[in-house]
Structure 1
């Protein structure tokens, strides 16, 4: 009996097909089990932890971009907001619900992608190894960046990719698939405007492959564009501070934080992406023209690569979608190869080995995190559920520590990056004295926020980062901040990270 619903196959072929589908489902289930087990041993991501705090505060009545300082558009926190709301409803930790929700989104993305492609000419190719490979790339490969916006953006894009592949093949697209693709592409672009490159490159490639300019104006593209516009209007109406307060801050300060182009070119992510694309091209070679699926996936990967370079940070999670999609293209090219000549079999075997190496190296790269357990253990000894203030631009010092200790974050922002970016820009000669004077207003506003939050909710523990910057000297030179810290006594200094507690706080 065949499990491939909607596909009628005769006799032995049907039996074989059903057996392979069962094997695929079991393999995908094994991938999810492995990924869930990984979540139990890997540290929770710093930014995801912060977004859970943001979501909790919003549910408690605080206003995003007014009471909470965040540079990302509202869509970035939608999944985490839902996770916190569900967690309160079922009385579970938000971290657990967030992970469960993301796994559910991955499963839904894979199911929708399969459903879109199952009535196409690719139906015999997508239910086997490519489906298992896609599950591994979405559920296991993210490692420490699991749940980051780039991860969610790729999860959302997959069903839209399926429709773009159908367009490139000049195949029929069901109205429901058009709607799904439009929703998914819009969600991807609404996470970050940079992701328009990935969606746009896929659409352009589909049109070029189909040799039909009308693909550019397919219904799903109009749906996606309309939803992006609606999202923008909602920001203007419901979050006007994003445009009046956050956008100028991002434009004038945050965009100063850029790594040199050469440094980004030399990252492991760039090398892994290049090798994966070379594998795809080598498998096609001179005798086999790249198929539509490979072309669309490579185009999407290239779009995410442009996004990676345009953002200019070189951070691991920014590179996740470009690497994952290039590996998906490589896996597809290996699976789609139908040339049984000895030379071709050797090439495919070699490609499988190279792709496995890329996957392993990518897992290591995406698992990079800063170990703050010593700091967390010391803070934990100072008392239960502490109110914590961390004077640092390094978000990894305070997150996810504050949530692990069930404490309270004493600040309106994830970390104090404004002063640090301006300071580094002055040291590097990126800005002149005139621009530095103009940016001083942003630094003063951040400092005023620190003082206000401190007075509103005096922390039990203050952590001062003298490892990555000179926050100790900065506080000492500020009379008001020094006065606020007079009731605090040093407890420990861990590699330049100074930990203070209130003098009247009982020792644990």
Structure 2
């Protein structure tokens, strides 16, 4: 079993290490490195997400700073280390539950959690799904009144707390798992256990740390984000369509598993409760982004793997559905990585532009970190703003397009205009060496994106006209128009 898991880790490394880091992971890792260098959260570096990612990713950041490792390699290695710690933690609970079927079950779950993420490897949702796995397995043991050691419970609670603290939406996961356990045991007192107490304690310590060490996140970032982040939201039909696409093969695998076993195993039930929690978290975020739905697919496939391990028939069908669910993201990721016009090629090309002695700082007018932030991270250059993207702009543009503007929309315009004026004022005093403008047909959150041009929009600001006059346009790269300071 251990040899099989080790080979899975090797395969994951072969799939992941040659290619570019996920854009969101790159931004959060870059933020962590900035925090390590002394930047203040919410002032010098800012993101709508709570600081847990910045603090946790400081660990691989130390490896980059101290050992000079490639940021992408260091981060992906860190994710593999986290995965190894998780699978070591679930081995005993799975053995206690599955007995001789444990090797097949652990291999299937490990393959799913390591391979299915593909390009989204290391996203916060991926890490959260990993970190909550031991806690969910222990909940299953508790449902069967099986003994759990103090150390195992404490460790599982610690890991789960870290994962849940990435986003407040993830609180839906323990709520659904505890509801499942209480219904199964018919006793609400089951909610009070060592692992849940550890989770609550860690959560309170984390909240206190945010108040003490990152107060500007609470008092500056959160209020502005709450007034403007709706600009990125999608309609429910679009969200449900994305959910259906992501969950097609996982649900098919689970249906085969139910037919094969003719019941839902309690461990499968716990995994499905967890999947429901992550689905609720994804729906509450109202974005419909694929990586937000990924944990749902992971846990539905884990539930199908449980059914497969205990079933005496249809194992091939279940395995095929699980394999297809994992194969499509992996093959798509590898194909994109090898393509001369794929993500890794575009990131490397941008990195070559930035990796010049005359370039110290860069800024891009973007609403998504895609391509740009992996290149900035790898090149070691300085991002010239606290925010990684023009986070307020989508709400600003939606408000401008509205026939009548609500007070919230008027506030969104005011926040965005103040941000842009401050940004351009700072750039007038200290212009970035490279300015980039997203010229792609699709721009995240931007209404009528095909007709939107950043330079035309920014021309309404006098400070921008003076700023852009000190730049020369150079050859475009991928989706970006590039300008170099004279």
> TM-score, normalised to structure 1's length?
0.85
SS for the counterpart of 1:253 is helix
Deviation at 1:29, TM superposition (A): 1.4
8 A Cα contact 2:26 2:373, kept in partner? yes
In structure 1, the residue matched to 2:55 is 78
Q: Does 1:182 align with 2:157?
A: yes
> How large is the RMSD of aligned CA atoms in angstroms?
2.5
Moved more, 374-383 or 130-139: 374-383
User: Given the superposition, is the C-alpha separation of residues 383 and 141 from structure 1 closer, same or farther in structure 2, using an over 3 Å criterion?
Assistant: closer
| 1:117-140 deviation per Cα after TM superposition (whole angstroms, max 9, x unaligned) | 44x2433332x1111122212222
User: Given the superposition, is the C-alpha separation of residues 445 and 68 from structure 1 closer, same or farther in structure 2, using an over 3 Å criterion?
Assistant: farther
In structure 1, the residue matched to 2:322 is 355
User: Given the superposition, is the C-alpha separation of residues 375 and 487 from structure 1 closer, same or farther in structure 2, using an over 3 Å criterion?
Assistant: farther
8 A Cα contact 2:395 2:412, kept in partner? no
SS for the counterpart of 1:266 is helix
Deviation at 1:487, TM superposition (A): 1.4
In structure 2, the residue matched to 1:17 is none
User: Is there any run of 5+ residues in structure 1 with no aligned partner, and where?
Assistant: 1-23, 340-344, 504-508
8 A Cα contact 1:411 1:453, kept in partner? no
Deviation at 1:409, TM superposition (A): 1.7
Counterparts of 1:225-240 in structure 2 under 5 Å? 225-240=200-215
SS for the counterpart of 2:388 is coil
Q: Which residue among 441, 446, 457 is the counterpart of 1:474?
A: 457
In structure 2, the residue matched to 1:500 is 483
In structure 1, the residue matched to 2:376 is 402
Q: Which residue among 230, 237, 251 is the counterpart of 1:255?
A: 230
Q: Does 1:60 align with 2:33?
A: no
In structure 1, the residue matched to 2:447 is none
8 A Cα contact 2:17 2:73, kept in partner? no
SS for the counterpart of 1:500 is strand
The separation in 2 between residues aligned to 1:39 and 1:271, in whole angstroms, is: 24
| 1:268-303 deviation per Cα after TM superposition (whole angstroms, max 9, x unaligned) | x43442552353344334973322101001110111
Task: Answer with 1 or 2: which has the greater Rg.
Answer: 1
Q: Does 1:438 align with 2:418?
A: no
The separation in 1 between residues aligned to 2:94 and 2:321, in whole angstroms, is: 28
Counterparts of 1:204-353 in structure 2 under 5 Å? 204-267=179-242, 269-273=243-247, 275-285=249-259, 288-337=262-311, 339=312, 345=313, 347-353=314-320
Q: Does 1:450 align with 2:450?
A: no
In structure 1, the residue matched to 2:119 is 144
SS for the counterpart of 2:250 is helix
SS for the counterpart of 1:498 is strand
Moved more, 355-364 or 72-81: 355-364
Moved more, 201-210 or 63-72: 201-210
The separation in 1 between residues aligned to 2:332 and 2:187, in whole angstroms, is: 40
8 A Cα contact 1:316 1:365, kept in partner? no
The separation in 2 between residues aligned to 1:137 and 1:380, in whole angstroms, is: 35
8 A Cα contact 2:232 2:394, kept in partner? no
Deviation at 1:397, TM superposition (A): 4.4
User: Is there any run of 5+ residues in structure 2 with no aligned partner, and where?
Assistant: 444-451
Moved more, 470-479 or 208-217: 208-217
User: Given the superposition, is the C-alpha separation of residues 156 and 286 from structure 1 closer, same or farther in structure 2, using an over 3 Å criterion?
Assistant: closer
8 A Cα contact 2:251 2:300, kept in partner? yes
Counterparts of 1:186-197 in structure 2 under 5 Å? 186-197=161-172
| 1:174-226 deviation per Cα after TM superposition (whole angstroms, max 9, x unaligned) | 21222122212211221111111122211221222233332122222222122
Q: Does 1:157 align with 2:132?
A: yes
| 1:331-352 deviation per Cα after TM superposition (whole angstroms, max 9, x unaligned) | 1111111x4xxxxx3x332222
In structure 2, the residue matched to 1:34 is 11
Deviation at 1:34, TM superposition (A): 1.0
Deviation at 1:98, TM superposition (A): 1.7
The separation in 2 between residues aligned to 1:89 and 1:383, in whole angstroms, is: 21
Q: Does 1:105 align with 2:72?
A: no
8 A Cα contact 2:47 2:387, kept in partner? yes
| 1:405-457 deviation per Cα after TM superposition (whole angstroms, max 9, x unaligned) | 3332222211112123320354366x725433222221123213422442454
Q: Which residue among 64, 72, 81 is the counterpart of 1:87?
A: 64
The separation in 2 between residues aligned to 1:454 and 1:43, in whole angstroms, is: 29
